[in-house]
Amino acid sequence: MATLDSKIPSGPLADKWQKHKTEIKLVNPANKRKYEVIVVGAGLAGSSAAATLAELGYKVKNFVFHDSPRRAHSIAAQGGINAAKNYQNDGDSVHRLFYDTLKGGDYRAREANVHRLAEVSVNIIDQCAAQGVPFAREYGGLLANRSFGGAQVSRTFYARGQTGQQLLLGAYSALSRMVGQGGVELHPNSEMLDLVVVDGHAKGIIVRDLNTGAITRHSADAVILATGGYGNVFNLSTYARQSNATAIWRAYKRGACLANPCYTQIHPTCIPVSGDYQSKLTLMSESLRNDGRIWVPKKKEDAKKDPASIPEADRDYYLERIYPSFGNLAPRDVSSRAAMRMCDEGRGVGETGLGVYLDFSDAIKRLGEPAVRERYGNLFDIYHEITAENAYQTPMRIFPAVHYTMGGLWVDYNLMSNIPGLFVLGEANFSDHGANRLGASALMQGLADGYFVIPYTLGDYLAGQKPGARPKIDAAEFKQAEENVTAMTRRFLSNKGKEPVSHFHKRLGKIMWEHCGMARTKAGLEVALQKIPALREEFQASVKVPGSADTLNQSLEQAGRVADFIELGELLCRDALMREESCGGHFREEYQHPDGECKRDDEKFAHVAAWEYQGAGQTPLRNTEALNYEFTKMSVRSYK
Amino acid sequence: MVAPTAKKLFSVTLRIWRQAGPQQPGKFVDYPAANVSPDMSFLELLDVVNDGLTKDDGEPIAFAHDCREGICGTCSCTINGKPHGPGKGIATCQLYMRSFADGDTIVVEPFRARAFPLVKDLVTDRSAFDQVQQAGGFISVRTGAAPDANSIPVPKEDADLAMDAAACIGCGACVAACKNASAMLFVAAKVSHLGLMPQGQPERDKRVLAMVQMMDAAGFGNCTNQYECSAVCPKTITHDFIARMNRDYAVALFREKFKPASNASGGAG
């Protein structure tokens, strides 16, 4: 049974972080250089952490499976980053951002973590602006804002439709500076394949060089994982094709608890699926909902008609109808389920009937085409490339797709997992978004963790570790972990199978989407829990992995990742089955209000479920951490 | 969730560069591909071909890819002689098969440049770009030391132009398109982005000198002003930034030669 001490500081909510910072232990500057820290991943959380820790004087090794840290998938975030700057004078404050985020997460996040996130949000904008991030500006030269879902203020900062790219390039520039100065040793094309735990503490990793196949051991005083989410368990998602859960899954198998895996986010505005060959779904930024209006025909028989031929009176602007105070800016989970209900009623549009319209004709009338082009031009271009349709003339067709995972490795207030010395940042942890993440909050959390939380909290752990005491890489634990990795590789390559890895990934994705997607039921989840273990056995028996271990072998890379996804998918379904309530992105059909909204059960489920590995073939253990709300009332989330 | 497609399917031949490693010889190999949907992306066709090769005991084609939405800059094929293929303002992953016709032979090669050594098949090593960034592609600002963001106003025109330059995805198409394998557009985009912002002024001279020096050291060629780079850039970054960088470079060189050096050495401690 794992010990889950959240280590939330005592005292008033608004003072906790300040108080904690003054009370935690520090490492003196001369000692910092004696500590080596491994950072895995170089997205917003990883690169900001690696750069900042190196600035402080720690010796940092940064591992990234991409060929360059700049390619991590944070780069693809489009819309923006939230911060409680209140530059618009529209009533924003740290407290309001805290409250919106907590409510947006359907009261399933820790109050103290969310409040800290809102507090440091303002520092993030300052930091990024100083790095030269070209944020959108007003004519007077000050920063511009836009609105995002789940908020009634305008607090989202942005750089056209490429905010994630610009923030990541900012963090990458800080990282590059520290690489140039020798503070960070960069290991690109390097995939972490196991975590090394020595005397109960995380002290190293096993890495495969993707270009040469070389397996190496790396020892450190602490290990930080910033390796992103596990949404590709659904195969089709808005994630990058190579985004994977291998680092967090292998850490789970070494004893780190995985919290709330069933909290997955389905984004309402993505380009619909077109065929079986499809490799990914492309997101259309939520920012489009500022000016686009979402509708379906009122009558089923109009669903296949040319949208231009459907008169205004026959259109159902269903979000504006059902949620008048938030309208087209209702939160993501609410909007996604509403779209699904429209399609279930047979009013979905497009060839497949799995789509709704996102219509800009009113915005073009009101603002003119050039203004709409300036705001969203690149998104309209992306849409055109994929569908060959011109969204200035005809409405976009959109449909929900898997986009983000709120669940992740369990961490305490210091972002340390239940394995001492193992820290988890960004989307890879579970901490700040509860059961649903609001738009423009992922970038905020990644950078908060990397720039402003871990630089303080890492010291608190390291101060208790003797400088220079990290184990040598010839220790038995390293040898055992390396053998674990090489054995796995050997098994894949010597398997006499018939089917490529993608065959199994697609089948897993279909099971997950059908039984554990936007709406879940007990019966469906039980079916999934039969199908997934069967798929795992079939995968082990009949996957075919060509090529060798000592060269670039993309099939081998993919095989390891899909093996992990199959196991993680099973845990995800198990978590969804056990959580007998609906909250945020986790919607159980049995638990809903008469109007189709989520029905939480705070009596039984106001807790974090943190799963603990018990060995191959054993049912994992479900630990819980109670969510004690001292300052906010858990209420019914309403956007009406 | 898989939709039937009513569109007409067609066939093409992929003529692909295969090379097992940097030291092995390479050659073109033809792969026929049938039942191609116009709505399929070019990389999705490579996925399908690779699954076929796996089943038939062949070795799949190694190709670089990740986000598949034109922003990460990983994908890097020269298609029918043009980096990223026939489209304008797109990366390889944004190329859809509707750009080709039934019966076409499509020639696919890696990005070729001395500074981008080949890893395998269509994959090259573009870490030289990272080295250029490490030499000076940043504003030196420690985390936590920043003033309030609105205390540094940036004229909208400057911010917009900086953003045009900052849109670079670091794919290397500019280098692959250039007969000299010059990285001038890539370096100019970074130098211009930071040089256009007030925050970037203190290190403006030092930055351009360091980045250009590293660019030369990494083995990239010189610019002879033919602008194939901006013609193939997936973000249509203009070669005007090259002129801007040249001016910055000349000014910085001049100032470096004639500026009196400060006597500063350490603190008063």
Strand A201-209: give its sheet, edge to edge: A190-198, A201-209, A215-219
Collect all residues of chain A within an 8 Å Cβ-Cβ radius of residue B98. 388
| Neighbour count for residue A201 (Cβ, 10 Å) | 19
Whether the CB-CB separation of A211 and B39 falls below 8 Å is answered with: no
Put simply, whether A31 touches B (Cβ < 8 Å) is no
Helix (H, G, I), strand (E, B) or coil at A588: strand
Looking up residue B36, the CATH number of its domain turns out to be 3.10.20.30
Q: Count Cα atoms within 13 angstroms, Cβ side, for A449.
A: 35
The nearest alpha carbon in chain B to A187 belongs to B127
CB contact under 8 A, A70 and B73: yes
C-alpha A176/C-alpha A468 separation (Å) is 26
Distance in Å, alpha carbon of B264 to nearest chain A alpha carbon: 21
Put simply, whether A131 touches B (Cβ < 8 Å) is yes
CB contact under 8 A, B74 and A67: yes
Whether the CB-CB separation of B123 and B184 falls below 8 Å is answered with: no
Put simply, whether A493 touches B (Cβ < 8 Å) is no
Within a domain: residue B268?
no
CB contact under 8 A, A388 and B144: no
How many residues make up chain A in this entry?
640
Cβ contacts of B52-57, under 8 Å, gap ≥ 24: B53/A546, B54/A500, B54/A544, B54/A546, B54/A555, B55/A498, B55/A499, B55/A500, B55/A544, B57/A546
pLDDT of B266 reads 58
pLDDT of A376 reads 87
Distance in Å, alpha carbon of A392 to nearest chain B alpha carbon: 19
Collect all residues of chain B within an 8 Å Cβ-Cβ radius of residue A354. 1, 3
pLDDT of A374 reads 85
Q: For A553-592, b where at least 16 C-beta lie within 10 A, e where not — what string?
A: bbbbbbbbbbbbbbbbbbbbbbbbbebebbbbbbbbeebe
Q: Are residues A387 and A272 in the same domain?
A: yes
DSSP B27-78: EEEEEEEEEE-TTSBHHHHHHHHHHHHHHTT--PPP---SSSSSSS----EE
Q: Are residues B77 and B131 in the same domain?
A: no
Distance in Å, alpha carbon of B8 to nearest chain A alpha carbon: 13
Put simply, whether B219 touches A (Cβ < 8 Å) is no
| Residue among B6, B68, B170 minimizing CB distance to A241 | B68
Among A402, A436, A456, residue at a domain's last position: A402
Q: Are residues B136 and B232 in the same domain?
A: yes
Whether the CB-CB separation of A351 and A343 falls below 8 Å is answered with: no
How many residues make up chain B in this entry?
269
The nearest alpha carbon in chain A to B142 belongs to A55
Distance in Å, alpha carbon of B97 to nearest chain A alpha carbon: 10
Q: Are residues B151 and B100 in the same domain?
A: no
Say which of A96, A250, A332, A588 is annotated catalytic: A332
Among B101, B120, B139, residue at a domain's last position: B120
CB contact under 8 A, A131 and B167: no
pLDDT digits (tens, 9 = 90+) for B104-127: 999 999 999 999 999 999 999 999
The pair of three-digit structure tokens given for residue B231, joined into one six-digit string? 């013609």
pLDDT of B6 reads 57
Within a domain: residue B266?
no
How many Cβ contacts (< 8 angstroms) between chains A and B?
A: 249
Specify the DSSP element, H or E, that contains A563. Answer: helix A554-578
Q: Are residues B150 and B115 in the same domain?
A: no
Put simply, whether A241 touches B (Cβ < 8 Å) is yes
DSSP A335-368: HHHHHHHHHHTT---STTS--EEEE-HHHHHHH-
Within a domain: residue B134?
yes
Confidence of residue B267 (pLDDT cuts 50, 70, 90): low
Q: Are residues B145 and B92 in the same domain?
A: no
Put simply, whether B54 touches A (Cβ < 8 Å) is yes
Collect all residues of chain A within an 8 Å Cβ-Cβ radius of residue B60. 546-547, 554-555
Q: Are residues B18 and B50 in the same domain?
A: yes
pLDDT of A584 reads 93
Residue of B143, B150, B157, B197 to mutate, interface with A, max A Cβ within 10 Å? B143
Domain count, chain B: 2
Q: Phi and psi for A421 in degrees, rounded to 5?
A: 90, -10
Looking up residue A275, the CATH number of its domain turns out to be 3.90.700.10
Report B:13-42 residues touching A (Cβ under 8 A).
20-21, 37, 39-41
Within a domain: residue B4?
no
Residue of B51, B67, B122, B190 to mutate, interface with A, max A Cβ within 10 Å? B67
Q: Phi and psi for A612 in degrees, rounded to 5?
A: -120, 125
The nearest alpha carbon in chain A to B51 belongs to A500
CB contact under 8 A, A274 and B5: yes
Put simply, whether B87 touches A (Cβ < 8 Å) is yes
pLDDT of B193 reads 98
Put simply, whether A494 touches B (Cβ < 8 Å) is no
Q: Are residues B180 and B76 in the same domain?
A: no
CB contact under 8 A, A138 and B156: yes
CB contact under 8 A, A351 and B6: yes
Q: Are residues B133 and B247 in the same domain?
A: yes
Q: Are residues B94 and B174 in the same domain?
A: no
Domain count, chain A: 2
pLDDT digits (tens, 9 = 90+) for B50-99: 999 999 999 999 999 999 999 999 999 999 999 999 999 999 999 999 99
Q: Are residues A395 and A271 in the same domain?
A: yes
Q: Are residues B162 and B232 in the same domain?
A: yes
pLDDT of B4 reads 45
The pair of three-digit structure tokens given for residue B3, joined into one six-digit string? 């939709």
Within a domain: residue A47?
no
Q: Write out the E strands in chain B.
A: 10-18, 27-36, 77-79, 82-83, 105-110, 118-120, 123-124
Write out the residue range of the structural domain in which residue B64 sits.
10-120
pLDDT digits (tens, 9 = 90+) for B31-59: 999 999 999 999 999 999 999 999 999 99
pLDDT digits (tens, 9 = 90+) for A542-600: 999 999 999 999 999 999 999 999 999 999 999 999 999 999 999 999 999 987 789 99
Distance in Å, alpha carbon of A69 to nearest chain B alpha carbon: 9
- DSSP 8-state class, residue A234: G
C-alpha A532/C-alpha A508 separation (Å) is 7
Distance in Å, alpha carbon of B133 to nearest chain A alpha carbon: 6
| Residue among B71, B153, B163 minimizing CB distance to A75 | B71
Collect all residues of chain B within an 8 Å Cβ-Cβ radius of residue A546. 53-54, 57-60
The pair of three-digit structure tokens given for residue A587, joined into one six-digit string? 């919607």
The nearest alpha carbon in chain A to B49 belongs to A277
Instruction: Please state the separation of Cα B107 from the chain's center in Å.
Output: 20
Q: Are residues B150 and B243 in the same domain?
A: yes
Collect all residues of chain A within an 8 Å Cβ-Cβ radius of residue B194. 132
Among B120, B150, B185, residue at a domain's last position: B120
Distance in Å, alpha carbon of A54 to nearest chain B alpha carbon: 10
Put simply, whether B216 touches A (Cβ < 8 Å) is no
CB contact under 8 A, B66 and A66: yes
Among A376, A402, A428, residue at a domain's last position: A402
Within a domain: residue B29?
yes
Write out the residue range of the structural domain in which residue A557 sits.
495-605
Distance in Å, alpha carbon of B265 to nearest chain A alpha carbon: 19
Among B71, B102, B120, residue at a domain's last position: B120
pLDDT mean values, one per 10 residues, chain A (640 residues):
94 98 95 97 98 98 98 94 97 97 97 98 98 97 91 93 96 98 98 98 98 98 98 97 98 98 95 90 88 96 95 96 91 90 94 93 96 88 91 95 97 98 98 94 98 98 95 98 98 96 97 96 98 98 97 98 98 98 96 90 98 97 97 88
Looking up residue A583, the CATH number of its domain turns out to be 1.20.58.100
Within a domain: residue B242?
yes
Looking up residue B139, the CATH number of its domain turns out to be 1.10.1060.10
Q: Are residues B103 and B179 in the same domain?
A: no
Put simply, whether A126 touches B (Cβ < 8 Å) is yes
Note if A637 is an active site residue: no
CB contact under 8 A, B144 and A500: no
Please, is A508 exposed, middle or buried when counting C-beta atoms within 10 Å of its C-beta (0-12, 13-18, 19+)?
A: buried
Report B:150-169 residues touching A (Cβ under 8 A).
150, 152-156, 159-160, 162-163, 166-167, 169
pLDDT of B2 reads 39
Put simply, whether A500 touches B (Cβ < 8 Å) is yes
CB contact under 8 A, B66 and A386: no
Whether the CB-CB separation of A218 and A474 falls below 8 Å is answered with: no
Q: Are residues A388 and A283 in the same domain?
A: yes
- DSSP 8-state class, residue A113: H
Task: Provide the β-strand partners of residue A225.
Answer: A40, A424
Collect all residues of chain B within an 8 Å Cβ-Cβ radius of residue A135. 149, 159
Distance in Å, alpha carbon of B142 to nearest chain A alpha carbon: 7
Residue of A431, A443, A402, A336 lying closest to A565 (CA atoms):
A402
Put simply, whether A141 touches B (Cβ < 8 Å) is yes
pLDDT of A242 reads 98
Q: For A42-72, b where at least 16 C-beta lie within 10 A, e where not — what string?
A: bbbbbbbbbbbbbbbbbbbbbbbbbbbbbbb
Put simply, whether A547 touches B (Cβ < 8 Å) is yes
Put simply, whether A70 touches B (Cβ < 8 Å) is yes
Within a domain: residue A633?
no
